[in-house]
Amino acid sequence: MGADLLRRTRILLHGLLTSERGNSLQPVRALRSAVSLLNDLAGRPLCSAEEIRRREQEIAEAEQALRQRGTTQQGAHREVAPVVVYTSEQDQRTPRRIAELLRARNIPFVVLDVTEDEATRSWVLTRAHANELPLVFIAGEPVGGLHELTQLDVCGELVRKVFG
């Protein structure tokens, strides 16, 4: 019930933000512009129903892929924390090195290219307090880029974070 109410509220507020009503008034345009900027910086929590469905579908697919990989690589007994690598088309070398490191530790992961998805890209960068991609998230928490991932691996924390 609560999640449905939150979802409907997000969609309603997005409709008000993108509505053409009141655009002839300068204060309304200025307020909408400011709220729109804040919405983008916060990772677009106010968005259309279609965008919410798309995001939920992507998350469900990523979680399903991680569950399948975790079961086949680690056995059905162990629950694996989901690992997501957010990338863009700008850098191809660093994501490859991140993937090599994760594969070397038999850590299942999903790569999400956010080049065309400005809302997700903004959310990832804001959540991780970072300026550039690629970024790694373990169990929904930002870990950082290649350097931070390597440091976690060297001190043994990477395997502990993923496998418990």
Which CATH number belongs to the domain containing residue 107 in this structure? 3.40.30.10
pLDDT digits (tens, 9 = 90+) for 109-139: 999 989 888 888 888 999 999 999 999 999 9
The answer to whether the predicted template modeling score (pTM) of the entire model surpasses 0.75 is no
Determine the structural domain holding residue 12 and report its residue range.
2-41
Extract the tokens encoding 148.
């931070």
Helix (H, G, I), strand (E, B) or coil at 90: coil
Per-residue confidence band for 76, with pLDDT thresholds at 50, 70 and 90: very low
59 and 10 part of one domain = no
DSSP symbol at 132 = S
Alpha helices in 2-156, H assignment, sequence order: 2-18, 26-41, 49-74, 93-104, 118-128, 146-154
Nearest in space to 46 (alpha carbons), one of 2, 19, 11, 6: 11
134 and 63 part of one domain = yes
Query: Does residue 157 form part of some domain?
Result: yes
25 and 98 part of one domain = no
Nearest in space to 17 (alpha carbons), one of 48, 49, 52, 43: 48
For the cut 60, the answer to whether the pLDDT of residue 73 exceeds it is no
pLDDT digits (tens, 9 = 90+) for 39-72: 777 777 788 888 888 878 877 787 777 677 655 5
Number of domains the chain is built from: 2
